[in-house]
Structure 1
């Protein structure tokens, strides 16, 4: 059997741009993508803490250390500048892999600068 588990998350990042007239996706600071192990064009789930919107899009790499979190295209209607988001990626694991799986949890400050990486909540 295969099961889907959280692979990684960026916790409480702040939306820095929301651009409707863009080709879609979510531009994310490259340092944050690397820390979370999220690849360019990988599917992500975004959960808007402010308004409860939850949506699927894909990640694109932003400039390293820019702090950018830009929600683009149709998804821009679901996040305003300043909204706090959780960005999550998931993966499918077999029973053997699940036994040793731990997600990568990335935490940031108010400027979307990485402050801590953990495998446990709290």
Structure 2
């Protein structure tokens, strides 16, 4: 039996752009995608802390180290510039994988830069990826 678990999380990112004319998706700084293990075109769930909206879309890679979080297409109706969001992706795991699996959680500061000081349990893991 497979169970669905949190695989990746970018916590409290600030939306920097909105582009209603783009075909869809959420553009994410490629460095944040790398740290959190979110792949381009992977399905993501976006939880809007500011207004309570939740949407499902897919990730596209933005300029590395730019801090970009851009709501594209229809997503821009629920996600506005300045909103705080949580970006999640999930994985299906079997019983063996569950025992060893740990999600990739990336805390960010107000400029969407990785902030490992607020996530003591993940400092070693995330810091090793930041090199």
TM-score w.r.t. the length of structure 2 is 0.88
Q: Which runs of 4+ in 1 moved over 3 A?
A: none
What's 2:8 paired with? Answer: 8
Determine which structure has the larger strand proportion and give its number.
1
| C-alpha distance in structure 2 between counterparts of 1:46 and 1:114, whole Å | 18
Q: 1:72: how far off?
A: 0.5
Listed one character per residue, the Cα deviations across residues 11-31 of structure 1 (whole Å, up to 9, x for unaligned) are 000000111111111100010
What's 1:22 paired with? Answer: 22
Determine which structure has the larger helix proportion and give its number.
2
Q: Secondary structure at the match of 2:115?
A: strand
TM-score w.r.t. the length of structure 1 is 0.94
Alignment of 1:29-40 (within 5 A): 29-40=29-40
What's 1:50 paired with? Answer: 50
What's 1:71 paired with? Answer: 71
Q: 1:73: how far off?
A: 0.5
Q: Secondary structure at the match of 1:114?
A: coil
* Gaps in structure 1 of 5+ consecutive residues: none
